[in-house]
Copies of this chain bind each other. A is one copy, B any other.
Amino acid sequence: MGTSTGLALRRKGVEVYLEDVNAAYVEVAASRGAGSSKRPSDVAMVVVAVPPDHVGDVVVAALRDWPEAVVTDLSSIKAAPLATVRAADADAGRYVGSHPMAGSERTGPVAASEQLFDGRAWAVTPSEAADGHAVAQVRALAATCGATVVELGPDEHDEAVARVSHLPHVMASLAAAQLDGGPETHLALSGQGLRDVTRIAGGDPRLWRQILVGNATHLRTVLQRVRTDIDTMLAGLDGSTSDVVGVLERGVHGTKLIPGKHGSVEAGWGTVYVQVPDRPGELARLFADAGESDVNIEDLRIDHDPARPSGLVEVDVARDNVDVLVDALGQRGWRAHR
Protein backbone atom coordinates (compact mmCIF):
# COMPACT_ATOMS: atom_id res chain seq x y z
CA MET A 1 0.00 0.00 0.00
CA GLY A 2 2.88 2.35 0.84
CA THR A 3 4.71 1.65 -2.42
CA SER A 4 1.49 2.04 -4.43
CA THR A 5 0.95 5.45 -2.79
CA GLY A 6 4.52 6.46 -3.68
CA LEU A 7 4.03 5.35 -7.27
CA ALA A 8 0.68 7.15 -7.57
CA LEU A 9 2.19 10.37 -6.17
CA ARG A 10 5.33 10.19 -8.33
CA ARG A 11 3.04 9.82 -11.36
CA LYS A 12 1.85 13.36 -10.58
CA GLY A 13 5.39 14.64 -9.95
CA VAL A 14 5.16 14.77 -6.14
CA GLU A 15 8.52 14.31 -4.35
CA VAL A 16 8.45 11.16 -2.20
CA TYR A 17 10.87 9.91 0.49
CA LEU A 18 10.63 6.24 1.51
CA GLU A 19 11.36 4.66 4.90
CA ASP A 20 10.76 1.11 6.21
CA VAL A 21 12.06 -1.07 9.06
CA ASN A 22 13.07 -3.43 6.27
CA ALA A 23 15.76 -1.70 4.17
CA ALA A 24 15.27 -4.18 1.33
CA TYR A 25 11.67 -3.00 0.93
CA VAL A 26 12.84 0.60 0.53
CA GLU A 27 15.36 -0.54 -2.08
CA VAL A 28 12.75 -2.44 -4.12
CA ALA A 29 10.19 0.38 -3.81
CA ALA A 30 12.78 2.99 -4.86
CA SER A 31 13.93 0.85 -7.80
CA ARG A 32 10.30 0.68 -8.93
CA GLY A 33 10.13 4.47 -8.95
CA ALA A 34 8.05 4.98 -5.80
CA GLY A 35 10.44 7.60 -4.38
CA SER A 36 13.88 8.26 -2.96
CA SER A 37 15.64 6.62 0.00
CA LYS A 38 17.53 9.85 0.74
CA ARG A 39 16.11 11.50 3.85
CA PRO A 40 15.17 15.16 3.23
CA SER A 41 15.50 17.92 5.87
CA ASP A 42 11.75 18.32 6.06
CA VAL A 43 8.52 16.96 4.57
CA ALA A 44 5.00 18.37 4.14
CA MET A 45 3.25 15.10 4.89
CA VAL A 46 3.99 11.67 6.37
CA VAL A 47 1.92 8.69 5.12
CA VAL A 48 2.09 5.75 7.55
CA ALA A 49 1.48 2.34 5.91
CA VAL A 50 2.24 -0.36 8.48
CA PRO A 51 0.31 -3.36 9.91
CA PRO A 52 -2.73 -2.36 12.04
CA ASP A 53 -1.13 -3.16 15.41
CA HIS A 54 1.71 -0.67 14.81
CA VAL A 55 -0.14 2.25 13.21
CA GLY A 56 -0.71 4.31 16.39
CA ASP A 57 2.90 4.15 17.58
CA VAL A 58 4.33 4.96 14.16
CA VAL A 59 1.94 7.91 13.76
CA VAL A 60 3.02 9.27 17.17
CA ALA A 61 6.69 8.88 16.21
CA ALA A 62 6.04 10.66 12.89
CA LEU A 63 4.31 13.60 14.62
CA ARG A 64 7.37 13.99 16.89
CA ASP A 65 10.03 13.41 14.20
CA TRP A 66 8.46 15.83 11.71
CA PRO A 67 7.05 18.69 13.83
CA GLU A 68 5.78 20.68 10.82
CA ALA A 69 4.25 17.80 8.80
CA VAL A 70 0.68 16.64 8.39
CA VAL A 71 0.51 12.93 9.27
CA THR A 72 -1.94 10.34 7.94
CA ASP A 73 -2.13 6.55 7.83
CA LEU A 74 -3.76 4.06 5.46
CA SER A 75 -5.02 1.40 7.86
CA SER A 76 -8.50 -0.09 7.92
CA ILE A 77 -9.32 1.02 11.48
CA LYS A 78 -9.39 4.68 12.45
CA ALA A 79 -10.40 5.15 16.11
CA ALA A 80 -7.55 3.06 17.60
CA PRO A 81 -4.61 5.04 16.11
CA LEU A 82 -6.33 8.30 17.09
CA ALA A 83 -6.63 7.04 20.67
CA THR A 84 -2.90 6.24 20.69
CA VAL A 85 -2.12 9.75 19.43
CA ARG A 86 -4.27 11.29 22.18
CA ALA A 87 -2.85 9.03 24.90
CA ALA A 88 0.67 10.00 23.84
CA ASP A 89 -0.33 13.68 24.02
CA ALA A 90 1.01 14.11 20.48
CA ASP A 91 -0.19 16.95 18.20
CA ALA A 92 -3.62 15.62 17.16
CA GLY A 93 -4.24 18.76 15.04
CA ARG A 94 -1.73 17.53 12.45
CA TYR A 95 -3.04 13.93 12.34
CA VAL A 96 -5.89 12.99 9.98
CA GLY A 97 -6.47 9.28 9.43
CA SER A 98 -7.41 7.87 6.05
CA HIS A 99 -8.30 4.55 4.46
CA PRO A 100 -8.17 3.80 0.74
CA MET A 101 -10.79 1.14 -0.14
CA ALA A 102 -8.36 -0.70 -2.41
CA GLY A 103 -5.82 -3.45 -2.16
CA SER A 104 -5.56 -7.14 -2.76
CA GLU A 105 -4.45 -10.30 -1.00
CA ARG A 106 -0.93 -9.59 -2.30
CA THR A 107 1.28 -7.31 -0.22
CA GLY A 108 4.75 -5.77 -0.41
CA PRO A 109 6.44 -3.44 -2.89
CA VAL A 110 6.55 -5.98 -5.75
CA ALA A 111 2.74 -6.17 -5.89
CA ALA A 112 2.35 -2.37 -5.81
CA SER A 113 0.82 -0.33 -8.60
CA GLU A 114 0.48 3.39 -9.34
CA GLN A 115 -3.09 2.67 -10.49
CA LEU A 116 -4.24 0.87 -7.36
CA PHE A 117 -6.40 3.77 -6.16
CA ASP A 118 -7.80 4.99 -9.48
CA GLY A 119 -11.53 5.54 -9.08
CA ARG A 120 -11.66 3.82 -5.66
CA ALA A 121 -13.23 5.34 -2.56
CA TRP A 122 -10.67 6.74 -0.07
CA ALA A 123 -12.06 7.49 3.39
CA VAL A 124 -10.65 10.63 5.08
CA THR A 125 -11.47 10.64 8.81
CA PRO A 126 -10.59 13.86 10.67
CA SER A 127 -11.06 13.97 14.45
CA GLU A 128 -12.56 17.07 16.08
CA ALA A 129 -9.02 18.18 16.94
CA ALA A 130 -7.81 18.10 13.32
CA ASP A 131 -6.96 21.46 11.80
CA GLY A 132 -8.40 22.51 8.46
CA HIS A 133 -5.05 22.58 6.68
CA ALA A 134 -4.34 18.97 7.66
CA VAL A 135 -7.75 17.80 6.45
CA ALA A 136 -7.30 19.61 3.12
CA GLN A 137 -3.85 18.06 2.68
CA VAL A 138 -5.06 14.50 3.27
CA ARG A 139 -8.02 15.03 0.93
CA ALA A 140 -5.53 16.27 -1.66
CA LEU A 141 -3.39 13.15 -1.11
CA ALA A 142 -6.35 10.88 -1.91
CA ALA A 143 -7.37 12.93 -4.96
CA THR A 144 -3.78 13.10 -6.25
CA CYS A 145 -3.60 9.32 -6.04
CA GLY A 146 -6.68 9.11 -8.28
CA ALA A 147 -9.23 8.17 -5.60
CA THR A 148 -12.64 9.59 -4.69
CA VAL A 149 -12.71 11.21 -1.22
CA VAL A 150 -15.37 10.07 1.29
CA GLU A 151 -15.09 12.15 4.50
CA LEU A 152 -16.52 10.84 7.76
CA GLY A 153 -15.56 10.73 11.45
CA PRO A 154 -13.12 8.08 12.75
CA ASP A 155 -15.75 6.27 14.78
CA GLU A 156 -18.36 6.44 12.04
CA HIS A 157 -15.75 5.01 9.65
CA ASP A 158 -15.09 2.08 11.97
CA GLU A 159 -18.79 1.41 12.37
CA ALA A 160 -19.23 1.52 8.57
CA VAL A 161 -16.35 -0.84 7.74
CA ALA A 162 -17.49 -3.26 10.49
CA ARG A 163 -20.65 -3.73 8.40
CA VAL A 164 -19.41 -3.37 4.82
CA SER A 165 -15.96 -4.93 5.09
CA HIS A 166 -15.03 -6.69 8.35
CA LEU A 167 -18.27 -8.61 8.89
CA PRO A 168 -18.42 -9.77 5.23
CA HIS A 169 -14.86 -11.06 5.64
CA VAL A 170 -15.85 -12.95 8.79
CA MET A 171 -18.94 -14.42 7.12
CA ALA A 172 -16.90 -15.57 4.11
CA SER A 173 -14.34 -17.16 6.44
CA LEU A 174 -17.04 -18.89 8.49
CA ALA A 175 -18.73 -20.30 5.36
CA ALA A 176 -15.39 -21.52 3.98
CA ALA A 177 -14.30 -22.92 7.36
CA GLN A 178 -17.25 -25.36 7.31
CA LEU A 179 -15.86 -26.91 4.09
CA ASP A 180 -12.64 -27.82 5.88
CA GLY A 181 -12.58 -31.37 7.21
CA GLY A 182 -15.62 -32.65 5.30
CA PRO A 183 -15.57 -35.15 2.40
CA GLU A 184 -14.13 -33.59 -0.76
CA THR A 185 -16.82 -35.41 -2.81
CA HIS A 186 -19.34 -32.94 -1.41
CA LEU A 187 -17.54 -30.18 -3.29
CA ALA A 188 -18.42 -31.73 -6.66
CA LEU A 189 -21.78 -30.01 -6.11
CA SER A 190 -20.16 -26.55 -5.71
CA GLY A 191 -21.58 -23.74 -7.79
CA GLN A 192 -20.85 -20.10 -8.47
CA GLY A 193 -22.72 -19.02 -5.34
CA LEU A 194 -20.28 -20.82 -3.04
CA ARG A 195 -17.31 -19.35 -4.92
CA ASP A 196 -18.68 -15.81 -4.62
CA VAL A 197 -19.52 -16.10 -0.92
CA THR A 198 -16.09 -17.46 0.04
CA ARG A 199 -13.76 -15.60 -2.35
CA ILE A 200 -12.42 -13.05 0.15
CA ALA A 201 -11.84 -15.70 2.83
CA GLY A 202 -8.36 -16.31 1.38
CA GLY A 203 -6.83 -13.25 3.13
CA ASP A 204 -3.92 -13.48 5.60
CA PRO A 205 -5.35 -14.76 8.94
CA ARG A 206 -2.78 -12.94 11.13
CA LEU A 207 -3.32 -9.60 9.43
CA TRP A 208 -7.09 -10.05 9.59
CA ARG A 209 -6.99 -10.92 13.29
CA GLN A 210 -5.30 -7.55 13.90
CA ILE A 211 -8.01 -5.77 11.89
CA LEU A 212 -10.89 -7.57 13.62
CA VAL A 213 -9.47 -7.11 17.13
CA GLY A 214 -8.67 -3.48 16.29
CA ASN A 215 -12.33 -2.87 15.43
CA ALA A 216 -13.65 -5.04 18.27
CA THR A 217 -16.37 -2.71 19.57
CA HIS A 218 -18.26 -2.22 16.32
CA LEU A 219 -17.59 -5.72 15.01
CA ARG A 220 -18.87 -7.24 18.26
CA THR A 221 -22.16 -5.36 17.82
CA VAL A 222 -22.81 -6.66 14.30
CA LEU A 223 -21.49 -10.15 15.07
CA GLN A 224 -23.86 -10.41 18.03
CA ARG A 225 -26.71 -9.36 15.74
CA VAL A 226 -25.69 -12.14 13.36
CA ARG A 227 -25.69 -14.57 16.29
CA THR A 228 -29.23 -13.47 17.19
CA ASP A 229 -30.31 -13.97 13.56
CA ILE A 230 -28.70 -17.44 13.55
CA ASP A 231 -30.66 -18.31 16.69
CA THR A 232 -33.84 -17.16 14.91
CA MET A 233 -32.99 -19.43 11.99
CA LEU A 234 -32.03 -22.39 14.19
CA ALA A 235 -35.31 -22.01 16.08
CA GLY A 236 -37.22 -21.87 12.78
CA LEU A 237 -35.62 -24.94 11.18
CA ASP A 238 -38.20 -27.23 12.80
CA GLY A 239 -40.88 -25.39 10.83
CA SER A 240 -42.02 -23.35 13.83
CA THR A 241 -43.20 -19.76 13.58
CA SER A 242 -39.71 -18.35 14.26
CA ASP A 243 -39.22 -15.65 11.64
CA VAL A 244 -36.80 -17.25 9.16
CA VAL A 245 -38.50 -15.42 6.29
CA GLY A 246 -38.02 -12.10 8.11
CA VAL A 247 -34.24 -12.61 8.32
CA LEU A 248 -34.08 -13.63 4.65
CA GLU A 249 -36.19 -10.61 3.66
CA ARG A 250 -33.85 -8.24 5.50
CA GLY A 251 -31.07 -9.88 3.48
CA VAL A 252 -32.87 -9.24 0.19
CA HIS A 253 -33.37 -5.62 1.21
CA GLY A 254 -29.73 -5.30 2.30
CA THR A 255 -28.44 -6.40 -1.11
CA LYS A 256 -30.47 -3.65 -2.75
CA LEU A 257 -28.72 -0.97 -0.67
CA ILE A 258 -25.28 -1.80 -2.07
CA PRO A 259 -24.13 0.56 -4.83
CA GLY A 260 -22.88 -0.98 -8.06
CA LYS A 261 -23.50 -4.55 -9.05
CA HIS A 262 -26.47 -5.07 -6.76
CA GLY A 263 -28.02 -1.98 -8.23
CA SER A 264 -28.36 -4.02 -11.41
CA VAL A 265 -32.05 -4.72 -10.89
CA GLU A 266 -32.89 -1.10 -10.11
CA ALA A 267 -30.49 0.10 -12.80
CA GLY A 268 -32.54 -1.90 -15.28
CA TRP A 269 -29.94 -4.49 -16.22
CA GLY A 270 -30.64 -7.98 -17.47
CA THR A 271 -28.43 -11.02 -17.98
CA VAL A 272 -27.53 -12.88 -21.16
CA TYR A 273 -25.98 -16.36 -20.82
CA VAL A 274 -23.46 -17.43 -23.45
CA GLN A 275 -21.51 -20.68 -23.93
CA VAL A 276 -17.87 -19.87 -24.68
CA PRO A 277 -15.31 -22.53 -25.70
CA ASP A 278 -12.28 -22.48 -23.39
CA ARG A 279 -9.53 -21.45 -25.81
CA PRO A 280 -7.67 -18.22 -26.65
CA GLY A 281 -9.54 -15.70 -28.73
CA GLU A 282 -13.08 -16.92 -28.07
CA LEU A 283 -13.90 -14.16 -25.57
CA ALA A 284 -12.40 -11.64 -27.99
CA ARG A 285 -14.67 -12.98 -30.71
CA LEU A 286 -17.66 -12.82 -28.34
CA PHE A 287 -17.00 -9.19 -27.43
CA ALA A 288 -16.35 -8.19 -31.00
CA ASP A 289 -19.66 -9.76 -32.02
CA ALA A 290 -21.44 -8.11 -29.08
CA GLY A 291 -19.80 -4.78 -29.93
CA GLU A 292 -21.23 -4.87 -33.45
CA SER A 293 -24.72 -4.90 -31.96
CA ASP A 294 -23.84 -1.62 -30.19
CA VAL A 295 -24.72 -3.00 -26.75
CA ASN A 296 -22.64 -1.82 -23.77
CA ILE A 297 -21.62 -4.65 -21.43
CA GLU A 298 -22.13 -3.49 -17.84
CA ASP A 299 -20.73 -6.53 -16.09
CA LEU A 300 -19.93 -10.15 -16.65
CA ARG A 301 -19.08 -13.32 -14.78
CA ILE A 302 -17.42 -16.50 -15.99
CA ASP A 303 -18.52 -19.72 -14.33
CA HIS A 304 -15.25 -21.52 -14.86
CA ASP A 305 -15.09 -25.21 -14.09
CA PRO A 306 -11.82 -26.92 -15.03
CA ALA A 307 -13.72 -30.14 -15.77
CA ARG A 308 -15.72 -28.50 -18.57
CA PRO A 309 -14.61 -27.86 -22.14
CA SER A 310 -16.56 -24.62 -22.29
CA GLY A 311 -17.38 -21.81 -19.88
CA LEU A 312 -20.74 -20.24 -19.24
CA VAL A 313 -20.40 -16.46 -19.39
CA GLU A 314 -23.07 -14.29 -17.79
CA VAL A 315 -23.21 -10.87 -19.45
CA ASP A 316 -25.15 -8.01 -17.83
CA VAL A 317 -26.55 -5.38 -20.18
CA ALA A 318 -29.32 -2.78 -20.04
CA ARG A 319 -32.62 -4.68 -19.83
CA ASP A 320 -33.76 -3.20 -23.14
CA ASN A 321 -30.69 -4.67 -24.79
CA VAL A 322 -31.07 -8.26 -23.57
CA ASP A 323 -33.05 -9.50 -26.56
CA VAL A 324 -30.98 -7.40 -28.96
CA LEU A 325 -27.83 -9.10 -27.73
CA VAL A 326 -29.31 -12.62 -27.66
CA ASP A 327 -30.44 -12.22 -31.27
CA ALA A 328 -27.19 -10.64 -32.42
CA LEU A 329 -25.11 -13.39 -30.84
CA GLY A 330 -27.43 -16.12 -32.07
CA GLN A 331 -27.12 -14.85 -35.64
CA ARG A 332 -23.35 -15.08 -35.31
CA GLY A 333 -23.44 -18.72 -34.22
CA TRP A 334 -23.24 -18.30 -30.42
CA ARG A 335 -25.33 -20.32 -28.00
CA ALA A 336 -26.85 -17.44 -26.08
CA HIS A 337 -30.04 -17.17 -24.07
CA ARG A 338 -31.65 -14.77 -21.61
**Using a CB–CB distance below 8 Å, which chain A residues touch chain B?**
101-102, 104, 111, 113-115, 118-121, 123, 148, 150, 152, 156-157, 159-161, 163-165, 167-191, 193-203, 205-206, 208-209, 212-213, 216, 219-220, 222-227, 229-231, 233-234, 236-239, 244-245, 247-263, 265, 267, 271, 273, 275, 278-281, 283-288, 290-291, 294-310, 312, 335, 337-338
Contacts and interface: CB of A to CB of B under 8 A. Distances in A.
Given A118-B335, A209-B236, 7 more contacts: A121-B188, A173-B252, A174-B247, A193-B200, A206-B245, A223-B230, A301-B301
A189 B100 CA distance: 9
Contacts of A263: 306
Given A300-B300, A301-B301, A193 B205 contact: no
Contacts of A253: 176, 180
Contacts of A168: 175, 193-194, 197-198
B165 A189 contact: yes
Given A171-B175, A250-B180, A251-B172, A259 B190 contact: yes
Nearest to A300: B302
A146 to B, nearest CB: 10
Interface of A is mostly: helix
Copies in the assembly, this chain: 2
26 contacts: A115-B275, A118-B312, A121-B189, A160-B187, A161-B189, A164-B189, A168-B198, A171-B197, A172-B251, A174-B226, A176-B252, A177-B248, A180-B257, A184-B257, A193-B199, A201-B248, A201-B252, A201-B254, A209-B236, A212-B237, A260-B306, A280-B295, A284-B288, A287-B288, A300-B300, A300-B302
